[in-house]
Amino acid sequence: MFDHSNNQFVKNSFFENTSVKPVTVFIINELKQAIIEIPNGGSWFSNELLQNVIYSMNKKMSDENKIKLTECEIEVLKLVCKGLTAEKIGEELCLSFDTIRTYRANLLSKTECNNTADLVMYAIKNKIIEIN
């Protein structure tokens, strides 16, 4: 067990350099907590480790939830945001009107948008287009 009578010795030896003092106090407190928890059947993890695990999980979840649009869908979305009609987009990309309608329908479905205004907001939020 941790002998509390040695606290002053530990503090004095660590605190000779005052720039280390806050970090050392933090480390000592974490070690005390681990020494108390583990023998009593508990578990202990450092705050830094827990923060890293949470960050990794959040990043993985956001990466998995990110909608993946094809290059063609992104091009169509950019042109929709410019206000072009399906006919004009088809002319510009050398694709048929029906193909553009299919791309637009896929965009609405993938992004869970209801209309063109929602698609424009989606494009702005996801930095597909920039507002000058």
Give the CATH number, domain containing residue 95.
1.10.10.10
Residues in the chain, total:
132
Q: Give how far Cα 104 sits from Cα of 23, 84, 100, 118, Å.
A: 55, 12, 6, 12
Between CA 8 and CA 35 the distance in angstroms is 18
Check whether residue 57 and residue 89 sit in a common domain.
Answer: no
pTM: 0.52
Q: Which residues span the domain enclosing 29? A: 4-65
Give yes or no for residue 97 having a pLDDT over 80: yes
- Could you tell me if residue 13 is inside a domain? yes
Between CA 83 and CA 89 the distance in angstroms is 10
pLDDT in tens, 7-26: 555 455 544 555 556 667 76
Determine what percent of the chain is predicted with pLDDT higher than 70.
70
